[in-house]
Amino acid sequence: MDNKLDLNLIHLFVTIVQSRTLSEAARRTGMTRSNASRQLKALELAMGAQLLRRTTRHMEVTEAGKLLYTHGIRMLEEADTARASIESLGKSVRGDVRIRLPTGLGHLYLTSVLLDFAKRYPDVTLRVLINDFIGDLISAEVDVALKITSTPPEDHVARKICDISWCLCASPDFIERSGAIATLEDLAQRPLIAPASFGRRFDLKFDMNGARMLLRVAPRLQSGDYPYLLEAALSSLGVALLPRYAVWRQLQAGSLQEVLSQYEPEGVGNSVYLLTAANRFPTMATRTLMNFISEQIRLNESNWRRPGS
């Protein structure tokens, strides 16, 4: 390799691969398309290999390009980590962090946690995405993601924070109007409010003292927006299947009541994980944010547990 190879060329190439078009890569790096093309040719000349096959329709990464992309990501991460470590010597935590939050935990709890973090660490710039899609963190340009799941993805580094338990609950007004719910058969006769990720019809799974039970259900209301599901339950529209982190305050205040507490329903994932890319080294700012979120979640973890567990 040319010992005068510029890391800026590596950065450009990584950006081209991630953005999939030369024009978009040029926009992201603040240069013209023609200049980006010249820089790419200079990089291929320095490497002594063709890195991309370009046609009028698409762009394909060659075998040499794939190798350079893998090592280039690490080189850039190492450079960023070194810079951040040097900057942090005797100084405050600083840098950029891109984080993705799941909608339920994000809207109902973590947005306030991130605001507290921003106040405590004014030199950290946050870019916050709230959605339930978790693809490849590198191509999504995300440094760290939170995911509620029972099986964390194997192609990421997964750090478990805590368990997540679920419950069935309804407003006192709904229970008074519809009658007591003492059995699974009673539940089957009531309108159900549930996350959309289950599908339109599904088998709701329960555990009762180690025994597994199933109930075929077709919810009346479904959404990926957990605050909406919570409002639907508070509006007496049915029995809601929600994680305890979403409803523990309402259960304590009495605005919602747990039903069929002898059964433990299975929700959309039983643990919350912090995910980072397998081939990336988190910066000090990212690590600080990860530790801050973990500590804040653990402060409330006891409120999110099933009573008596």
The pLDDT value recorded for residue 88 is 61
The DSSP call for residue 303 is G
Give the Å distances, CA to CA, from 10 to 19, 25, 61: 14, 12, 14
> How many angstroms separate the CA atoms of 11 and 5, rounded?
11
Burial of 40 (0-12, 13-18, 19+ CB in 10 A): buried
Alpha-carbon 109 to chain mean position: 14
Q: Give the burial class of 227: count Cβ atoms within 10 A of its Cβ; 0-12 exposed, 13-18 middle, 19 or more buried.
A: middle
Report residue 73 as tokens: 């990501």
Amino acid residing at 7: L
pLDDT of residue 120: 92
Neighbours of 38 (CB within 10 A): 12
> DSSP letters of 181-235?
--SHHHHHTS-EEEEGGG-SSEEEEEEETTEEEEEEE--SEEES-HHHHHHHHHT
pTM: 0.65
Strand duo 239-243 + 59-61: pairing? unpaired
- Give pLDDT, residue 104: 87
- Rounded to an integer, what distance in angstroms lies between the CA atom of residue 245 and that of residue 270? 12
The reported pLDDT for the residue numbered 188 is: 92
pLDDT of residue 278: 72
Going along the chain, which residue ranges are E strands? 52-54, 59-61, 95-101, 124-130, 144-149, 156-163, 166-170, 192-195, 202-208, 211-217, 221-223, 239-243, 257-258, 264-265, 271-277
Look-up of token digits 């999504």: 140
pLDDT value of residue 241: 95
Low-confidence ranges of the chain (pLDDT < 50): 1-2
User: Got the DSSP string for 95-123?
Assistant: EEEEEEE-HHHIIIIIHHHHHHHHHH-TT
Within 13 Å and on the Cβ side, how many CA atoms surround 20?
Answer: 4
Cα–Cα distance for residue pair 82/73, rounded to 1 Å? 14
Asked if 202 contacts 138 with a C-beta cutoff of 8 angstroms, the reply is no
pLDDT at 268: 86
**Residues near 238 by beta carbon (within 8 Å), at least 6 away in sequence:** 170, 174, 190, 191, 192, 193, 219, 220, 221, 232
Q: What is the pLDDT of residue 277?
A: 79
